[in-house]
Amino acid sequence: MTYKYAFVIIVHRETDNKCLICVKGLTERRKMNRKPYSSAIKKTPFKYPIAKKIAKLMLDGLDYDELYKKCFDENYVEIESLERRREVTNVIYNRLCALDEFLLKEFYNGDVETSKFILVYAIAKTDTLFFDFLFEKYRDALMSQERRYLSIDDFDSFFESKKQVDLIVAKWGEFTLKCLTKGYRNILVESGLGHRERKSIVVDRMMIHPAVEEHIELIGDKDYLKATLGGD
């Protein structure tokens, strides 16, 4: 098989400090290797049912070429447009490649709430701008005692702040930013991170399987838990 990712195997807490040193080093490298901001999420926001289908193929042992043939040539993902079929297949596959073997199995076999959370985690792992939104805006609302919602202004102010400091975002027009806002709102609602109330998104604290939360922390991704579940 020729997957485009490598599984990270983490042993239990009872082992020596080598595991913790390895995880710390992994975390530091991730901070240095942040991907450039992208607006790609606006075309393919959540896509949970299709992600489950592609995860099944990966767990069945199909490599990328076999998986692509199944999804594109045989239209396993049930998308009529050839261009969209190609795009969605590649985007979803890339997201799922961000998961190690344990998380991929939990995504496919776990309870619905945990499964959807894992997909949000995968999206945040592959989209730096979305992760920053979760950490800077969603987390604040989740931890607030008084203002547990995200208004349209919150989305606008987030993108405006990024335009001031990032050359890529600075080039985006109003249409792109509106599409991104729509995509982010779609992910929050479809995943269970929030629900619509008029024009705002009221944030909801997700309850995920403890083993998944512990595993994500062990592999050095505690910031992703902070961004989505709150806490320090």
Amino acid in position 224: Y
Provide mean pLDDT across the span 123-146: 96
CATH code 3.10.110.10 for 38-229: no
Strand pairing partners for 149?
A: 202
Q: Which one-letter DSSP state was computed for residue 79? A: -
Query: pTM of the prediction?
Result: 0.86
What whole-number distance in Å separates Cα of residue 49 and Cα of residue 144? 32
pLDDT of residue 21: 39
Provide mean pLDDT across the span 184-191: 98
What whole-number distance in Å separates Cα of residue 153 and Cα of residue 159? 10
pLDDT of residue 197: 95
Strand pairing partners for 22?
A: none
pLDDT at 10 over 50: no
Of the candidates 174, 190, 182, the one whose C-alpha atom is nearest the C-alpha of residue 43 is: 182
Contacts of 78 (CB under 8 A, 6+ apart): none
Element (H, E) at 105: helix 101-109
List, for residues 67-113, the tens digit of each pLDDT value: 999 999 999 999 999 999 999 999 999 999 999 999 999 999 999 99
pLDDT of residue 12: 41
Tokens of 63: 């490599």
What whole-number distance in Å separates Cα of residue 119 and Cα of residue 191? 8
pLDDT at 2 over 80: no
3-state SS class at 22: helix
Sheet containing 149-150, strands listed edge to edge, beginning at the edge strand earlier in sequence: 149-150, 200-203, 194-197
What whole-number distance in Å separates Cα of residue 170 and Cα of residue 220? 31
pLDDT at 188 over 60: yes
CB 115 within 8 A of CB 107: yes
pLDDT at 5 over 70: no
Each as own residue / partner, the long-range contacts of residues 108-115 (CB below 8 Å, 24 or more positions apart, any chain) are 108/52, 108/55, 108/56, 108/59, 110/209, 110/212, 111/209, 113/192, 113/206, 113/207, 113/208, 114/208, 114/209, 114/212, 115/48, 115/52
For residue 33, name the pLDDT band (cuts at 50, 70, 90).
Answer: low
Taking all residues of the chain, what is their mean pLDDT, rounded to a whole number?
Answer: 89
> Of all residues in the chain, what percent carry a pLDDT higher than 90?
82
List, for residues 40-80, the tens digit of each pLDDT value: 999 999 999 999 999 999 999 999 999 999 999 999 999 99
Provide mean pLDDT across the span 140-149: 93
pLDDT of residue 231: 79
Measured CA distances, 220 to 22, 29, 64, 132 (Å): 9, 11, 27, 17
For residue 24, name the pLDDT band (cuts at 50, 70, 90).
Answer: very low
Q: Which of 23-27, 35-39, 180-184 has the lowest mean pLDDT?
A: 23-27
**What's the half-sphere exposure (Cβ side, CA atoms, 13 Å) at 8?**
17
3-state SS class at 157: helix
